[in-house]
Structure 1
Amino acid sequence: MRTILAIAVVLMLVVAGCSQAPGAGTTTGMDGTTTAPTTQPNSGSDTTGQQDAVVKPEDPATDTLGWESGLWYNETIDVEPDDGLNETELNKTVSRSMARVERIRKLEFEERVPVHIMTREEFRANQSSSGTSEARRVFDNAKYESLFMINESTDSLGVQNSNSGSSVGGYYDPTNKEIVVISENESTPQLDEITLSQELFHALQDQKFNFSSFNQTTRELHNAKDGVIEGDGNYVDYLYSQRCQNQWNGDCLTPEAPSGSSGSGGLANIGPYLIKYQPYSDGPAFVKQIKKRGGWQAVNDLYENPPKSTEQVIHPEKYGKDSPAEFSIENRASDGWERVTFPNRPNYASVGEAGMMSMFMYPFYASNQQTQIVPARDFFNRQQGSSQLDPIDPLNYNSTYSNGWDGDKLAVYTNDAAKDNETGYVWKSVWDSEQDAEEFVTGYRKVLKYNGAEKVDGRTNTWRIPSGNEFSDAFYVKRTGDTVVVVNAPSVSELSNVRKGAAPAA
Structure 2
Amino acid sequence: MVHRTRIIAVVLAVALAGVPVAAAAGSPNAAATAQTDSPPNTTHLSKTTDDATLADQHPPDPESDVLGWENGYWYNESIAVTPDDGLNDSELDAVVARGMARVEEIRRLEFEEAPPVEVISREQFSERVENQTANVTTATRLHQNVKYEALLMVNESTDAIGVQGQNQAGSVGGFYDPSAGEIKIVSENTSTPKMNEITLAQELFHALQDQRFNISSFNQSTQELHNAKDGIIEGDGNYVDYLYQERCEGEWQGDCIMPEGSQGGSTADIHIGLLQITLQPYSDGPSFVRDIHESDGWDAVNAVYESPPNSTEQTIHPEKYGEDEPTPVSIEDTSDDRWRPLAINGSINHASFGEAGLFVALWYPSYESLSNRIIPYNSHINQVGGGVDEFDPYDYNHTYTAGWDGDKLMPYVTDESSATNETGYVYKMLWDSPADAGQFQEGYEQLLAFHGAESVDGHENVYHIPDDQEFNDAFYLNRDGDTFTIVNAPSVGELSAVHAMAPDVQEPTETATDDGTATGDSETETTESTDETATDDETTDGVTDTDEPTDTTTTNGPGFVATGALIGLLAVALLALRRR
Normalised TM-score (structure 2):
0.78
User: Does 1 or 2 have the higher relative contact order (CA < 8 Å, sep 6+)?
Assistant: 2
Letter in 2 for 1:144: Y
Alignment of 1:328-339 (within 5 A): 328-339=330-341
For 1:157 and 1:417, locate their aligned partners in 2 and report how far apart those are by CA, in whole Å. 20
Aligned pair count? 481
1:134: Cα distance to partner? 0.5
Match of 1:407? 406
Q: What is the match of residue 209 of structure 1? A: 213
State the partner residue of 2:457: 457
Give the distance between the partners of 2:27 and 2:18, measured in 1 at CA.
23
- Post-superposition shift, 1:43? 4.1
Query: Could you tell me which residue of structure 1 aligns to residue 194 of structure 2?
Result: 190
What is the distance in 1 between the residues matched to 2:380 and 2:14? 15
Name the CA distance, whole Å, in 2 between partners of 1:87 and 1:176: 21
Residue 28 of structure 1 is matched in structure 2 by: 21
* CA deviation after TM superposition for structure 1 residue 269, in Å: 1.4
Partners of 2:264 and 2:10 lie apart in 1 by 17
* Residue matched to 1:503: 503
Structure 2 counterpart of 1:134: 138
Moved more, 404-413 or 171-180: 171-180
Aligned residue for 1:146?
150
Distance 1:229 1:93, change over 3 A: same
Q: State the match for 1:42 in structure 2.
A: 32
Q: CA deviation at 1:114?
A: 1.2
The residue number in structure 2 matching 1:93 is 95
Structure 1 residue aligned with 2:322: 320
Aligned partners of 2:249, 2:265: CA distance in 1, in Å? 23
Amino acid across the alignment from 1:146 = A
Deviation at 1:12, TM superposition (A): 11
Aligned to 1:72: 74
Provide the rounded CA distance (Å) in 2 between the counterparts of 1:376 and 1:126: 35
C-alpha displacement at 1:335, in angstroms? 4.3
Out of 106, 109, 134, the residue aligned to residue 107 of structure 1 is 109
Q: Distance in 2 between matches of 1:439 and 1:188?
A: 55
Distance (whole Å) between structure 2 residues aligned to residue 289 and residue 20 of structure 1? 31
For the 8 Å contact 2:16–2:171, the answer to whether it is kept is no
Name the structure 1 match of 2:512.
Answer: none
Q: Secondary structure at the match of 1:485?
A: strand
**Alignment match, 2:391:** 392
Give 1:433's aligned amino acid: S
Rounded Cα–Cα distance in structure 2 between residues aligned with 1:263 and 1:157 = 19
Looking at structure 2, the residues matched to 196 and 65 of structure 1 have their Cα atoms a distance apart, in angstroms, of 18
Which structure's CA Rg is the greater one?
2
In 2 relative to 1, CA 158–263 (structure 1 residues): closer, same or farther, beyond 3 Å?
Answer: closer
Matched residue of 1:488: which SS? strand
CA–CA distance in 2 between the matches of 1:497 and 1:263? 45
Give the residue type in structure 2 aligned to 1:162: Q
Residues 262 and 273 from structure 1, CA distance in 2 versus in 1: closer, same or farther, beyond 3 angstroms?
Answer: closer
Bigger drift between 296-305 and 369-378 goes to: 369-378
Instruction: Give per-residue Cα distances to partners, 1:61-83, cap 9 Å, x unaligned.
Output: 11111111121111111111222
Q: For the residues of structure 2 that align with 1:323 and 1:365, how far apart are their CA atoms? A: 31
TM-aligned CA deviation for residue 344 of structure 1: 4.2
1:95 is paired with a residue of what secondary structure?
helix
For 1:395 and 1:234, locate their aligned partners in 2 and report how far apart those are by CA, in whole Å. 14
CA–CA separation in structure 1 for the residues paired with 2:74 and 2:333: 61
Which amino acid letter does the alignment assign opposite residue 387 of structure 2? Q
Do the aligned residues in 2 keep the contact of 1:8 with 1:273 (CA within 8 Å)?
A: no
**Structure 2 residue aligned with 1:305:** 307
In structure 2, C-alpha distance between the alignment counterparts of 1:146 and 1:222, rounded to whole Å = 18
Please list every run of 5 or more consecutive structure 2 residues that lacks an aligned counterpart in the other structure: 44-58, 507-580
Give, in angstroms, the shift of residue 133 of structure 1. Answer: 0.8
Amino acid at match of 1:226: D
Match of 2:184 among 176, 180, 185: 180
In structure 1, C-alpha distance between the alignment counterparts of 2:325 and 2:5, rounded to whole Å? 29
| Structure 1, gaps ≥5 residues long | 1-6, 45-51
1:288 paired residue number: 290
- Amino acid aligned to 2:81: V
Q: Against the structure 1 CA distance between its residues 27 and 106, is the aligned structure 2 distance closer, same or farther, given a 3 Å change threshold?
A: farther
- Contact in 1 for aligned 2:27/2:253 (Cα 8 Å): no
Give the 5 Å matches for 1:114-263. Answer: 114-128=116-130, 129-184=133-188, 188-257=192-261
> Residues of 1 paired with 2:5 and 2:251: CA distance?
30
Distance 1:372 1:152 in 2: 23
Output the aligned Cα RMSD.
Answer: 2.7
Equivalent residue number for residue 357 of structure 1 = 359
Question: Distance in 2 between the 1:8 and 1:191 partners?
Answer: 27
Aligned partners of 1:27 and 1:242 also within 8 Å: no
Q: Is the 8 A contact 1:184 1:264 kept in 2?
A: no
Distance 1:336 1:154 in 2: 25
Asked whether the 8 Å contact 2:9–2:268 carries over to 1, the reply is no
TM-score, structure 1 normalization: 0.89
